[in-house]
Structure 1
């Protein structure tokens, strides 16, 4: 089918946009335009305007903007071609001609849609009739009101093998088998698939019934029975209640995915209209993409039992390759083995809303799952935890998000396994009172002349690069604090900056780079911090925003070189003096130190970035 720009322009010209939008939004005349509270976000005063002359709508609050077709795709959630078809029918136009095969497929789909609509009406009639007394009683026990049942189109399938088949006989057995309503077994007459079950229609985004879920009323298995996949129904691409939830989700600014049909129905009855559910399977990539069209951070709500938690972590892991900047998930766990249906019936809507307010971010859910997977009491198990977290993060497709996850997990692991900070020492003062039995401790010795000499020999350029790397990766400060003690002895702003960084991180080891920079700036280190943050010009692999795991490894290597090089240089100078003074044994020591110095220089060269002009 070919939709030319001329055809689409004619369609827009024949569609009165305000009439289309007024079907679901209350518009008020405002001069030559119409205004309303925006249907795409919550607001108290109107900022959404519709202009028929120009053929577009625009919200000055959230910047939603589009024409009649975009309204149908964004607000109604229809695929583009379905949106065009609806507008064409309303405008009295005809779609461009299809080829013969496409026409045959469309006619067959039309017949299937009509059969499913008739089955939907027939099941609803049975629920309201004498045969549906048991099903109505079951709904009443679950607290589902009659108006809610009607709203969701609930029905009942009598416990008989041929009642539906007889009611829809005009469609013929072949079409009813293709629709999934009959079961065909070789050598036997086709018979009704659903028998003795509460029937729940499954609809597409246009609100057309495409399948059914059937819940058994008494004991028996399976508890739920879904339609098989058909030309109309692909369960991996379908979300239950999406047709009703999409507008509510855009208005509420969130979408909630729960485990089952009855959870959706109970939550809608409690006032949560933005709720959907997968269809007896774990959330698929296609279903996640559907959710992300409605909200950047959908909320997944799972039962607290083992099966629910397994489904939650499976969804979390499946989402990782699809993440992008701003696109994520949050997780809610229903406590005490309940499901959302139980919770809202027992404690009301406020209890469920409180759980939504405390939803866990995706990274937190993954972290807690891996921490609980096995004890982390040995070096090997701690290394295993870090490896699992890194492997999870590396499945993320977007490089920026992937690096952030690697860095986040590295920080969490470092904070978890870091030794507790030592209490600050207070030097003994003569005459100060001591507790009974307390022994006198001498004050901490001042730094030795050798320590001062090593500090003076530190390469200032490499020291700046290391400080820049530590600001990029603050968790590394605690890891290397003992080794970097000589930085405190550097005269001038570099030594003062390092000491301030240590003090800040001892106060709060969870600080990220941005928070550390802000605090340092407030403490008077703004200019030197800005200078170091321009250290991207430095030719080192650990001063930029590349691979976080590699950067922290290289930073540790650079710190070792920074501290070792002046000590080796100092020792080499003493060995050379001794050799010149006639100590023959000092020659061998001198040669060893020269080789060490060369090795340090070679290790540092490995951390220098390649010049792109030379590649």
Structure 2
């Protein structure tokens, strides 16, 4: 089977070498590369390096060196074609069929590069001719320097349906169609795709022209402002980035790469000194393009316009990236002021304004939170519950388990602070005169808080905490339902934070029934007397158990808040004895109600146990003993 060098280069460019090698070898970051102890010989210190930008690995000890294909052969023991087929399947490429025509097609693909190079030269010549006067004036109005015009290879496609066909008559008409330069319509003569447009070449990582983008000089109804080449044997718009071959070397100096919305944004940034910018090809950022960005920087910066379309584009990129997240790799987002693109901002405020924005990007998590919080009104409990559901939908798309757990924890924490703002218990919950919806929290002095913590650590408090934590272990499907309450509880009782973290992080893997993994037996406390709580008992009605568990969680969370409020009221006796006493009595009454309710839960369970032991039909008790409260 004949595989052309061009096809093999394309295959290697679609594979992230460090990702491939990390499946077998634990790599560590080393600047712009990765390092590890060499898998090909025994060594104590790392001398094996992987370079994604250059697409090879190298060991300075044993001199092992190669590409992704070499790795599959040397490390996996595959034959050459087997290695190629496995990598091609991963890259979404079809291996050329084993027939005599394969070599012919490979040769044709190579000759398409000649077609594109000839077309580029013709477009550049047209720009400098009398036909290109309007295009040159447009570039002048945009403030484009001659150096930038030449650097990015601007050209012009005349408004002539047969112009390029005549100019490239040395090539077969079918090749011009295959290259995307001519449009072929049944029963009509093929005609030029690009007419009356300012032209920009799109190049691959090696700097070869593989496609074109064309912009109209004046807006016209029904005519697209930008027009790109279609997908061809050379060009796949979802697997390439505009300006990649220039931005790659620049990003190695800045340790940054900026992804903007369009070609002209890239060029405006380059003219202002930001040479590490790329752009997708008029589509939402794809998974493969994210991988290309990660080859240049661990946290690429997405810089989108400040209008609604720019915000939607940023969120689409986030949704594509969340499933791909891995340790150390994410996205950063910069959103420009409303109504401005990079060119506008730089002309209005100068390069320093852009540099300032790039220095203060928001995280991917910030983007998800802010987008969903602003997506719909949040005026009712149902609206707020919808916000939580949307946030968790995003979290569920993340494949890496540790990152998924951390995103869930952080977003639930933000949601809890938003949906359940802290209140103090003065005068009905808010300080007099405080703005509605913004509670003023009064914290107890340190010595009072210490006394309260000691009181809260009594036997009854410990028993309820143990019961709730073990109840959630027995009913893991309820953990996320009570995540907000649990997170707020850790703020008043730091000792249970490890147990809460364990439950939240493992909610999806725990099995109903309360079996605790051996690795976590020192994290959760032992269960209290199971007879006092229905949600700890075997064979109890699941629905009733979940209701009792929900009430127990609520009571558990409310108790420390009441204790803190009572302490705060006590501190006010010197300045407001009557008001402090009345507040203290009200809070103690509520605390007593909680204790009574817990007692009722225990008596209810005792009565159920008695009914089980002494059935109403007069039968013999099952155990011979009656449980008492």
Q: Does 1:65 align with 2:49?
A: yes
2:53 and 2:261 mapped to 1: Cα distance?
A: 31
**Cα distance, 1:353–1:598 mapped onto 2, change above 3 Å:** farther
Q: Which residue of 1 aligns with 2:179?
A: 179
Q: Which residue of 1 aligns with 2:391?
A: 389
Q: Which residue of 2 aligns with 1:227?
A: 229
- SS of residue paired to 1:170: coil
- SS of residue paired to 2:344: helix
Q: Which residue of 2 aligns with 1:251?
A: 253
| 2:264 aligns with one of 259, 262, 265 | 262
How many residues get paired? 441
Q: Which residue of 1 aligns with 2:580?
A: none
- SS of residue paired to 1:205: coil
Q: Does 1:595 align with 2:607?
A: yes
**Cα distance, 1:70–1:292 mapped onto 2, change above 3 Å:** closer
Which deviations, in whole Å up to 9, do the C-alpha atoms of 1:539-597 show, x marking residues without a partner? 89xxxxxxxxxxx9999676469789986886799xxxxxxxxxxxxxxxx6x461368
TM-score (norm: length of structure 1) = 0.62
Contact 1:159 1:196 (8 Å CA) reproduced: yes
1:371 and 1:411 mapped to 2: Cα distance?
A: 14
1:265 Cα deviation from its structure 2 partner = 0.7
1:499 and 1:461 mapped to 2: Cα distance?
A: 14
TM-score (norm: length of structure 2) = 0.60
- SS of residue paired to 2:304: strand
1:72 Cα deviation from its structure 2 partner = 5.2
**Cα distance, 1:66–1:377 mapped onto 2, change above 3 Å:** closer
Q: Which residue of 2 aligns with 1:305?
A: 307
Q: Does 1:535 align with 2:535?
A: no
Which deviations, in whole Å up to 9, do the C-alpha atoms of 1:138-174 show, x marking residues without a partner? 1111111111111111111111122211111010211
Q: Which residue of 1 aligns with 2:188?
A: 188
Matches within 5 A, 1:13-24: none
1:325 Cα deviation from its structure 2 partner = 2.2
Q: Which runs of 5+ in 2 are unaligned?
A: 4-29, 36-44, 59-65, 71-83, 85-95, 428-447, 449-453, 473-479, 503-519, 529-545, 560-592, 612-629
1:66 Cα deviation from its structure 2 partner = 5.2
Q: Which residue of 2 aligns with 1:326?
A: 328
1:193 Cα deviation from its structure 2 partner = 1.3
1:500 Cα deviation from its structure 2 partner = 7.6
1:238 Cα deviation from its structure 2 partner = 1.2
Which deviations, in whole Å up to 9, do the C-alpha atoms of 1:301-322 show, x marking residues without a partner? 1111121111111111122222
1:362 and 1:214 mapped to 2: Cα distance?
A: 32
**Cα distance, 1:500–1:294 mapped onto 2, change above 3 Å:** closer
Q: Which residue of 1 aligns with 2:151?
A: 151
**Cα distance, 1:185–1:259 mapped onto 2, change above 3 Å:** same
Matches within 5 A, 1:283-298: 283-298=285-300
1:113 and 1:554 mapped to 2: Cα distance?
A: 72
1:467 Cα deviation from its structure 2 partner = 8.9
- SS of residue paired to 2:171: helix
Q: Which residue of 2 aligns with 1:111?
A: 111
2:334 and 2:208 mapped to 1: Cα distance?
A: 30
Contact 1:568 1:593 (8 Å CA) reproduced: no
Which deviations, in whole Å up to 9, do the C-alpha atoms of 1:425-471 show, x marking residues without a partner? 9xxxxxxxxxxxxxxxxxxxx9xxxxx999854274764687999xx
Q: Which residue of 2 aligns with 1:371?
A: 373
Contact 2:322 2:397 (8 Å CA) reproduced: yes
Q: Which residue of 1 aligns with 2:211?
A: 211
1:126 Cα deviation from its structure 2 partner = 1.3
Which deviations, in whole Å up to 9, do the C-alpha atoms of 1:158-199 show, x marking residues without a partner? 111222111110102111011011112222222221111110
Contact 2:53 2:296 (8 Å CA) reproduced: no
1:421 Cα deviation from its structure 2 partner = 2.8
Which deviations, in whole Å up to 9, do the C-alpha atoms of 1:348-387 show, x marking residues without a partner? 2111111112211111111111111222121111111111
Q: Does 1:280 align with 2:282?
A: yes
Greater shift after overlay, 108-117 or 284-293?
284-293
1:326 and 1:39 mapped to 2: Cα distance?
A: 13
- SS of residue paired to 1:169: coil
Contact 2:112 2:179 (8 Å CA) reproduced: yes
Q: Which residue of 1 aligns with 2:345?
A: 343
Q: Which runs of 5+ in 1 are unaligned?
A: 4-37, 42-47, 49-59, 83-95, 426-445, 447-451, 482-496, 505-511, 515-531, 541-551, 574-589, 600-615
1:281 Cα deviation from its structure 2 partner = 0.9
Which deviations, in whole Å up to 9, do the C-alpha atoms of 1:78-120 show, x marking residues without a partner? 98689xxxxxxxxxxxxx9997344222201111010001111
Which deviations, in whole Å up to 9, do the C-alpha atoms of 1:315-359 show, x marking residues without a partner? 111222222222221111111301111111222211111111221
1:478 Cα deviation from its structure 2 partner = 7.6
2:106 and 2:69 mapped to 1: Cα distance?
A: 13
CA-based RMSD of the aligned residues comes to: 4.7
**Cα distance, 1:320–1:572 mapped onto 2, change above 3 Å:** closer
**Cα distance, 1:533–1:143 mapped onto 2, change above 3 Å:** farther
Q: Which residue of 1 aligns with 2:418?
A: 416
- SS of residue paired to 1:376: coil
- SS of residue paired to 1:236: helix
